[in-house]
Amino acid sequence: MKRRKIASILLVGAMVGSMLVGCGQKGDDAKAESGSDGKEVLTVMCPGTASDTYRETYQEIADDFSKDNEFGVEVKYEFYEREQFKTKLTTLMASNSVPDIFFTWELDYLKPFVDGGKVYELTGELDGDTEWKDSFIEGTLDPLTYDGKVYAIPTQSTLATMYYNKQIFEDNGVEVPETYEEFLEVCETLKNNDVTPMTLAATTAWVPAEFVQQLADGIGGMDLYNGIVDGSKKWNDEAHIEAGKEVQNMIDKGYFQDGMLGMSEDEAKALFQQGKAAMYYMGAWEVSTFINEETTPVSSDIGVFNMPAKNPENDGIIVGSVDSSYAIAETCKNKEAAIAFLKYYTSVPAQEKLVYDQGRLPSIKMEFDESKLKPLVIDVMEVSKNAKGMTPWWDRVFGAGEGVEFNNQSLAIFGGDDVQTAFDDLESFAENNADR
């Protein structure tokens, strides 16, 4: 009897112990509250995984700021995988326990948090420091402005572009296409020479969506974008239908890699990185990966061009927006320090680090030392300079509801669904979703 008692006490102890262990553990990425030498800590929450090289650069910028600032604070990054980040941020928002500074996407992503009064308004700070306000490239603050008030600071700008392998182009005697017809011809020639013209990940819905949006931009131009934003145009607009049909035409002709529908982002990208595909349509952030010769054997052969528009008058209208914006939580205790950090982040030294080390386009007006820029970065800047208009990704404009649904329907189109039905479905989703 006694032995049994002891055994049961031990068991209970073990159980409680294991529960405590479960509670106490934190992910590798989550850092403790107080910093080294007892400095006050500002926490920045940001998406990123161990394979993202930009994490180091971000932390370096934070360390530079921490080293000497008048507030004596230390800035620490907490990185989370992208989907985990989204879940975590919304949960923390609802329970009022967001970290001091958080990464955010622009437009509709931040809007509910702004409406809920969870985000610190920065208009006053910007107006109080016009030098800071004027340092931003025109229009970059607009996607983060709600009711005339600015709530977040863009730290980068970005766009989607067509990467191509110069070597493959040369070997097959094709040149960078200037018109849409030429683009199709390039694909056709490559295809006939048994080269995979394009690689694309069709398991992650926003990737095909990005491509459909670019084609639609080339057909409908800014009118289409503005029309859908202000509601005067419907999702099943002619331009969208035409773009969808163009995509299916390309798929039928075999312009994308075999097995596209089952390929993840990394797999599709790897084909391009290893020189097994000639073109890859993706955001400019991928430059960080492509300038790294260890991961990208064909690094020195990569160039970019602007996807030609089907209606030539829309040439130069591309998918792009501001990127990696930072907002300050209303609950942040040391807002002055947080603002100082944002100012430092958007100052020339920090932005230089981002552009020279990671190839990220700055959000501020600045001069570059061309010798320090990688050739690919110069190419991307050229595309950016020639852009006549930018349409932010739909899932940023409309957030998770309609935006994600656009991604889903684009994926369905890549999977061979009827284009008209897909966009009709999207339109009826959009109409119903408004009152949920």
The H or E element that residue 199 is part of is strand 196-199
Residues 6+ apart with CB under 8 A from 50: none
Q: How far apart are CA 216 and CA 228, in angstroms?
A: 12
| Of the residues 17, 128, 139, 259, which one makes contact with other proteins according to CB under 8 A | 259
When asked if residue 411 is in the footprint of other proteins (CB under 8 A), the reply is yes
Out of 261, 298, 373, 387, point to the residue binding other proteins (CB under 8 A): 261
- Asked if 340 and 75 count as a contact pair (C-beta separation under 8 A), the reply is no
86: contact with other proteins by CB under 8 A: yes
Question: Do the beta carbons of residue 290 and residue 163 sit within 8 Å?
Answer: yes
Strands 361-362 and 152-165: antiparallel
Q: Is 65 in the site for other proteins (CB under 8 A)?
A: no
- Could you say which residues in the range 172-231 bind other proteins, by CB under 8 A? 202-203, 205
Question: Of the ranges 224-232, 314-322, 382-390, 426-434, which one interacts with other proteins (CB under 8 A)?
Answer: 426-434
Among 85, 113, 136, 255, binds other proteins (CB under 8 A): 113
Contact between 112 and other proteins per CB under 8 A? yes
3-state secondary structure of 79: strand
Residues 6+ apart with CB under 8 A from 261: 202, 203, 414, 415
Residue 116 makes contact with other proteins by CB under 8 A? yes
Smallest separation, CB 105 to other proteins (Å): 13
CB closer to other proteins, 263 vs 338 = 263
Among 137, 176, 229, 400, binds other proteins (CB under 8 A): 400
Nearest CB to other proteins, comparing residues 139 and 259:
259
Q: How many residues bind other proteins (CB under 8 A)?
A: 36
Burial class from Cβ neighbours inside 10 Å (0-12, 13-18, 19+) for residue 20 reads exposed
Torsion sign across C-alpha atoms 400, 259, 168, 191: negative
| Separation CA 139–CA 226 (nearest Å) | 15
Does residue 117 belong to the site contacting other proteins (CB under 8 A)? yes
Q: Provide, rounded to whole angstroms, the least separation between the CB of residue 258 and other proteins.
A: 9
Closer CB to other proteins, 81 or 223, in the complex: 81
Contact between residue 291 and residue 376 where contact means Cβ atoms under 8 Å apart: yes
| Contacts with other proteins, residue ranges (CB under 8 A) | 86-87, 90-91, 93-94, 112-113, 115-118, 202-203, 205, 259, 261-263, 267, 399-401, 404, 408-409, 411-412, 415, 417, 425, 429, 432-433, 435-436
